[in-house]
């Protein structure tokens, strides 16, 4: 009897062990290494400076130097810009995605739904980097938009579309759009349309029905989409690098520069950790919200 | 009697499918009106057109004196109780019931009070702050009813609201609903596929089939005097006889061809001509089974073969077949069995007889 009851309880752990091992080696271990590095000092030629007296180093408080530095006013505009860009990206994504998701889930004939969803997902087949380069071709001075406008005689000289925050925003919104559309679609798809009829029956016009019934009931999708878009937007560096030029540095670029250009791994690790903390805070807030609503989180 | 809902020549097509086919009928103020029929007969579509959820392809719908054919639901003086109850899951019971009252210009306090009154009407006090998920199916339908009644509609539309309830609860709610309708004096338009439910509650019933109204009559009339084979079948009288008109005199039709003596049956139509083929029905509970051809009191008798007997508690159902191949059902009440009940056996012969005044002549086919 004893064997029969104890053996099966071990099986689940054994089965899940490979997953834990993969997660541990590929994610947790590097994070731990980064965490330790973030308290270190940069060596003269990059790399890490060896610490002679660990105890003295800790007591002097020097190990927090990288975190102190990261809070210097010099970097505030970068954090602020990152936060602001991520927020605007998220809001724009939400405003653009909701009608699209609504159309696919509710308005479109059933036989079109899968095709439309496929259209949302198909861009993933191409590398994000290549798609961002494509935007450069569209936005640059001799690019598609300027050429068409010039040929059409609508403008005399090319517009400055590339290498500014506007271009970064386009790239970000474009890239993150599917991550907003899909969760919104998932929750709109589940919406009981009779509720919309009931609302109309009780005197609510379309706008009223939207605010009082549709939106509250699809809130899980909205919040999931916001989380899914905001988090990658605040940490990204590729789009701002390619489309923003040097002018619009974001926190992602700052981190990347510490590793790739300034060769200051401890400082880069410290900022990366701060960013991770902010993201985790957001995720906890989301989990708390979902639990409070008694709903299963969509993430 | 003033007209509450006037449906004039309404047709609804979905692509090639005709859901409602040239329906014209008038629903009177204060009556309990049922649309009865099998699924797909167009009854729900018709109701949804009254509610404004569908728009007719042809025809006009008036409520009171107003043409509402093209008005959206929120502009119509009607409210609907949905089959699924359609309560808003993110709102409490009281918020659900008060949902539409702000559009009537009521402030929050007045709306809440009115919602409470409506909940009292359906005997759901004390449930105000519960979310719908914590209610039983019957309670949910009561809230849906209260929500519609709170809006004080001119006409209340009910789309099979009891379909999801179990048999016992359904019977209770039927009577409650009927009493509520009577005491409020409100026009109810009720959609159902259950003939018993329709008979229990309705003043008048429109039986629908394939998008058309087969018969519109007072409910006992629909039950006792079906006009078409479909209605007879739907009302549980699937005993069809074919005969030939011999003559028509003073509202009495003399039908021959089935029995030695002509069957005398009442008819309200004067379009019958001699030699017209005629179809008639006799309800299963009006039929008697005997060993001898009963000729007393002008009773009609037909010789049949007994094919089956099924005990059903209150009744025993005899399935018999006439020599013309038609199948008939006979109900024998078990507390008042046929006199010679013990002498019949499956496979044997017997005489099926009935009083000629129970003969119901179906409408002449044009």
Give residue limits of the domains in chain A. 75-292
Q: Is the pLDDT of residue A179 over 70?
A: yes
Closest CA to A98 of A198, A230, A215, A204: A215
Closest CA to B57 of B45, B75, B73: B45
Contacts of residue B106 in chain A, CB cutoff 8 Å? none
Pairing of strands B288-290, B252-256: unpaired
Residue of A nearest to B75 (CA): A203
* Maximum Cα interatomic distance, chain A, rounded to a whole number of Å: 88
User: What pLDDT is stored for residue B1 in this prediction?
Assistant: 65
Q: A55-81: per-residue pLDDT in tens?
A: 888 888 888 888 999 899 988 988 998
Residue of A nearest to B79 (CA): A201
Sign of the C-alpha dihedral, residues A162, A165, A170, A172? Answer: positive
Cβ(B41)–Cβ(B210) below 8 Å: yes
Question: What are the distances in angstroms from CA B318 to CA B233, B312, B323?
Answer: 17, 11, 16
Residue of A nearest to B83 (CA): A194
User: What pLDDT is stored for residue A47 in this prediction?
Assistant: 78
Instruction: Give the integer Cα–Cα distance in Å for B290 and B301.
Output: 9
Question: What are the distances in angstroms from CA B282 to CA A284, B14, B38, B223, B358?
Answer: 73, 38, 22, 12, 6
- Per-position DSSP letters for B168-213, written without gaps between them: HHHHHHHHHHHHHHHHHT-EEEEEES-HHHHHHH-SEEEEEETTEE
CA distance B258 to chain A (A): 54
Instruction: Give the integer Cα–Cα distance in Å for B3 and B256.
Output: 43
In the block, tokens 């409910």 appear at B219
Q: What is the mean pLDDT of residues A230-245?
A: 87
Return the DSSP state at A41.
Answer: -
CA A87, A90, A92, A96: dihedral to nearest 10 degrees?
A: -170
Cα distance from N-terminal residue to C-terminal residue, chain A: 40
CA distance A281 to chain B (A): 27
Q: Is the pLDDT of residue A92 over 90?
A: yes
Instruction: Give the integer Cα–Cα distance in Å for B146 and B127.
Output: 12
Contacts of residue B78 in chain A, CB cutoff 8 Å? 201
B105 touches chain A (CB under 8 A): no
User: What pLDDT is stored for residue A246 in this prediction?
Assistant: 67
Q: Please state at what angle helix A128-139 crosses helix A144-151, rounded to 10 degrees.
A: 20
CA distance A290 to chain B (A): 14
Strand, coil or helix: A35: helix
CA distance B333 to chain A (A): 45
* Tokens encoding B250: 């003073």
Cβ <8 Å between A203 and B72: no
Cβ(B322)–Cβ(B302) below 8 Å: yes
* Tokens encoding A280: 């985790």
B274 touches chain A (CB under 8 A): no
Q: B329-346: per-residue pLDDT in tens?
A: 999 998 888 888 788 888
Contacts of residue A192 in chain B, CB cutoff 8 Å? 84, 86
Cβ <8 Å between A202 and B53: no
Alpha helices in chain B, H assignment, sequence order = 43-51, 93-98, 108-121, 137-150, 167-184, 195-201, 219-224, 229-234
| pLDDT band with cut points at 50, 70 and 90 for residue A296 | low
User: What pLDDT is stored for residue A2 in this prediction?
Assistant: 46
Instruction: Give the integer Cα–Cα distance in Å for B284 and B235.
Output: 11
CA distance B97 to chain A (A): 10
Show the CA angle centred on residue A73, arms to residues A68 and A78, nearest 5°.
100
Q: Using CB atoms, pick whichever of A194, A202, A205 lies closest to residue B84.
A: A194
Cβ(B291)–Cβ(B343) below 8 Å: yes
* Tokens encoding B158: 């009910």
B37 touches chain A (CB under 8 A): no
State percent of chain A over pLDDT 90: 41
B141 touches chain A (CB under 8 A): no
Instruction: Give the integer Cα–Cα distance in Å for B275 and B247.
Output: 8
Contacts of residue A221 in chain B, CB cutoff 8 Å? none
Q: Is the pLDDT of residue A248 over 80?
A: no
Residue of A nearest to B151 (CA): A202
Q: Using CB atoms, pick whichever of A194, A203, A212 lies closest to residue B82.
A: A194
User: What pLDDT is stored for residue B295 in this prediction?
Assistant: 61
CA distance A118 to chain B (A): 28
Task: Note the CATH number of domain A75-292.
Answer: 1.10.3720.10
* A 162-221 residues with CB < 8 A to B: 192, 194-195, 197-205, 208, 212-213, 216-217
User: What pLDDT is stored for residue A6 in this prediction?
Assistant: 53
How many CB pairs lie under 8 A apart between chains A and B?
59
Contacts of residue B148 in chain A, CB cutoff 8 Å? 201
Q: Which residues of chain B have pLDDT under 50?
A: none
B247 touches chain A (CB under 8 A): no
Cβ <8 Å between B103 and A202: yes
A111 touches chain B (CB under 8 A): no
Task: Note the CATH number of domain B240-361.
Answer: 2.40.50.140
Closest CA to B329 of B307, B344, B345: B307
Show the CA angle centred on residue A34, arms to residues A32 and A40, nearest 5°.
115
Q: Using CB atoms, pick whichever of B52, B72, B86 lies closest to residue A198.
A: B86
Q: Is the pLDDT of residue A7 over 60?
A: no
* B 69-88 residues with CB < 8 A to A: 72-74, 78-80, 82, 84, 86-88
Cβ(B325)–Cβ(B275) below 8 Å: no
Written in H, E and C, the secondary structure of A149-184 is HHHCCCCCCCCCCCCCHHHHHHHHHHHHHHHHHHHH
Closest CA to B340 of B295, B303, B288, B304: B288
Cβ(B206)–Cβ(B174) below 8 Å: no
- This model of the complex carries an ipTM of 0.86
* Tokens encoding A159: 């517009």
User: What pLDDT is stored for residue A1 in this prediction?
Assistant: 44
B131 touches chain A (CB under 8 A): no
Cβ <8 Å between A201 and B103: no
Cα distance from N-terminal residue to C-terminal residue, chain B: 31
Cβ(A94)–Cβ(A226) below 8 Å: yes
Cβ <8 Å between B73 and A205: no
CA distance A220 to chain B (A): 12
Closest CA to B87 of B121, B135, B49: B135
Strand, coil or helix: A131: helix
Task: Note the CATH number of domain B3-234.
Answer: 3.40.50.300
Instruction: Give the integer Cα–Cα distance in Å for B362 and B228.
Output: 5
Instruction: Give the integer Cα–Cα distance in Å for B173 and B160.
Output: 12
Give residue limits of the domains in chain B. 3-234, 240-361
Pairing of strands B240-249, B277-281: antiparallel
Q: What is the mean pLDDT of residues A242-267?
A: 85
Cβ <8 Å between B90 and A217: yes
pTM to 2 decimal places: 0.83
Instruction: Give the integer Cα–Cα distance in Å for A110 and A227.
Output: 29
Cβ <8 Å between B74 and A216: no
């Amino acid at each position: 009897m004893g064997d029969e009851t104890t053996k099966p309880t071990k099986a689940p752990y054994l089965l899940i062990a490979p997953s834990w091992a993969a997660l541990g080696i590929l994610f947790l271990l590097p994070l731990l290494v980064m965490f330790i590095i973030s308290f270190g000092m940069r060596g003269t030629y990059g790399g890490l400076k060896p610490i002679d007296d660990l105890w003295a180093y800790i007591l002097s408080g020097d190990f927090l130097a990288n975190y102190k530095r990261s809070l210097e006013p010099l970097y505030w505009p970068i954090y602020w810009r990152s936060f602001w860009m991520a927020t605007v990206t998220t809001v724009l994504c939400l405003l653009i995605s909701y009608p699209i998701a609504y159309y696919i889930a509710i308005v479109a004939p059933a036989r079109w739904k899968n095709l439309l969803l496929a259209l949302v997902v198909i861009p993933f087949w191409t590398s994000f980097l290549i798609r961002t380069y494509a935007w450069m071709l569209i936005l640059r001075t001799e690019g598609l938009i300027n050429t068409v406008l010039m040929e059409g005689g609508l403008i005399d000289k090319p517009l400055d579309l590339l290498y500014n925050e506007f271009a970064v925003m386009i790239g970000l919104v474009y890239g993150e759009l599917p991550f907003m559309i899909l969760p919104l679609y998932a929750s709109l798809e589940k919406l009981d349309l009779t509720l919309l009829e009931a609302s109309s029956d009780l005197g609510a016009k379309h706008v009223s029905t939207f605010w009082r019934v549709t939106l509250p009931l699809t809130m899980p999708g909205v919040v999931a989409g916001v989380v899914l878009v905001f988090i990658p937007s605040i940490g990204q560096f590729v789009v701002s690098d390619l489309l923003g030029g040097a002018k619009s540095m974001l926190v992602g670029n700052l981190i990347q520069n510490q590793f790739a250009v300034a060769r200051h791994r401890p400082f880069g690790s410290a900022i990366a950790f701060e960013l991770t903390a902010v993201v985790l805070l957001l995720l906890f807030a989301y989990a708390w919200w979902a639990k409070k609503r008694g709903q299963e989180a969509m993430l | 009697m003033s007209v509450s809902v006037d449906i004039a020549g309404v047709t609804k097509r979905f692509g090639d499918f005709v859901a409602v086919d040239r329906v014209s009928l008038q629903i009177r103020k204060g009556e309990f009106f049922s649309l009865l029929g099998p699924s797909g007969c167009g009854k729900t579509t018709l109701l949804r057109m009254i509610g404004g959820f569908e728009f007719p392809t042809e025809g006009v719908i008036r409520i009171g004196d107003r043409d509402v054919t093209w008005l959206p639901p929120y502009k119509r003086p009607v409210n609907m109780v949905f089959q699924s109850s359609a309560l808003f899951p993110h709102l409490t019971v009281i918020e659900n019931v008060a949902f539409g009252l702000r559009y009537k210009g009521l402030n929050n306090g007045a709306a809440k009070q009115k919602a409470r009154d409506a909940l009292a009407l359906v005997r759901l006090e004390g449930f105000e702050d519960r979310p719908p998920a914590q209610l039983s199916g019957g309670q949910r339908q009561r809230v849906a009813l209260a929500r519609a009644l709170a809006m004080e509609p001119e006409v209340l539309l009910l789309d099979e609201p009891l379909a999801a309830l179990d048999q016992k609860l359904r019977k209770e709610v039927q009577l409650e609903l009927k009493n509520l309708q009577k005491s409020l004096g409100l026009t109810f338009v009720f959609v159902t596929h259950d003939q018993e439910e329709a008979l229990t509650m309705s003043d008048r019933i429109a039986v629908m089939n394939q998008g058309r109204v087969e018969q519109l009559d007072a409910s006992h009339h629909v039950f006792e005097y079906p006009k078409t084979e479909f209605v007879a079948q739907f009302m549980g009288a699937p005993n069809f006889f074919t005969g030939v008109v011999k003559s028509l005199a003073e509202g009495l039709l003399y039908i021959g061809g089935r029995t030695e003596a002509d069957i005398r049956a009442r008819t309200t139509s004067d379009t019958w001509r001699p030699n017209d083929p005629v179809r008639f029905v006799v309800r299963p509970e009006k039929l008697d089974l005997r060993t001898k051809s009963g000729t007393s009191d002008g009773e009609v008798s037909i010789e049949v073969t007994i094919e089956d007997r099924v005990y059903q508690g209150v009744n025993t159902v005899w399935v018999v077949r006439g020599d013309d191949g038609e199948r008939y059902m006979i109900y024998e009440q078990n507390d008042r069995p046929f006199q010679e009940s013990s002498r019949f056996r499956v496979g044997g012969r017997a005489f099926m007889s009935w009083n000629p005044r129970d003969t119901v002549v179906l409408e002449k086919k044009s």
